[in-house]
């Protein structure tokens, strides 16, 4: 899709896949990384021509996930796949060039439902069952936590890095919150 200056959205292309996708993030101008559900590979790549690829990394779990059990994002700044395993309360940071990475478990990360790219290669993690939004460094260290006042489910940073959007998906709250990011 394309978004114009006046916020009009134009469909550019539709790609058919043989798998179900939950999250999608841009790797470059032509390729996207997607998390899957009910599929033998938890993360795949797909390009604008419809070519599908697999992500291989020693830390990436080799199992199928159900809907809402995992999420992923791609951090282009560090060529890193970030993958959450909701019911293992774990976030995997898989650097794709070197093959190195980090497995993050913390009492501040409970049922990580959403992950999003932050500034300078950092990562934001939403915990489904707790209110804090957690920011991780490139090395997997907790930089900060921010109480969102709701169970958070998805997170995204705007292009200039000044606004952070956090949403939930519970029937009771149905909220999207916008936070200002100071530098």
Task: Give me the sheet containing 176-180, strands edge to edge.
Answer: 154-157, 163-167, 176-180
pLDDT value at residue 150: 83
* Nearest residue to 35 via CA among 90, 1, 92, 73: 73
Could you give the CA distance from residue 104 to residue 94 in angstroms, rounded to a whole number? 11
pLDDT value at residue 165: 87
- Block means of pLDDT (10 residues each) for the chain, length 183 residues? 75 84 90 93 93 92 92 93 95 95 94 90 87 91 90 85 83 79 75
Could you give the CA distance from residue 132 to residue 60 in angstroms, rounded to a whole number? 25
Q: pTM for the complete prediction?
A: 0.89
pLDDT value at residue 12: 75
């Amino acid at each position: 899709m394309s978004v114009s200056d006046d916020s009009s959205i134009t469909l550019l292309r539709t790609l058919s896949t043989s798998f179900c996708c939950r999250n999608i993030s841009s790797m470059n101008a032509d390729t996207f990384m997607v998390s899957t559900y009910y599929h033998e590979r938890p993360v795949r790549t797909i390009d604008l021509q419809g070519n599908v690829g697999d992500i291989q990394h020693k830390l990436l779990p080799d199992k199928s996930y159900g809907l809402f059990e995992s999420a992923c994002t791609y951090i282009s700044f560090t060529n890193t796949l970030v993958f959450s395993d909701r019911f293992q309360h774990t976030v995997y940071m898989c650097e794709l060039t070197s093959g190195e990475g980090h497995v993050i478990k913390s009492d501040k990360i409970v049922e990580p439902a959403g992950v999003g790219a932050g500034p300078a290669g950092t990562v934001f993690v939403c915990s489904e069952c707790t209110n804090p939004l957690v920011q991780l460094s490139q090395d997997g260290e907790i930089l900060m936590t921010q109480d969102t006042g709701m169970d958070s489910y998805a997170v995204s940073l705007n292009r200039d890095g000044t606004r952070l959007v956090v949403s939930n998906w519970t029937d009771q709250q149905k909220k999207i919150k916008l936070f200002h990011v100071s530098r």
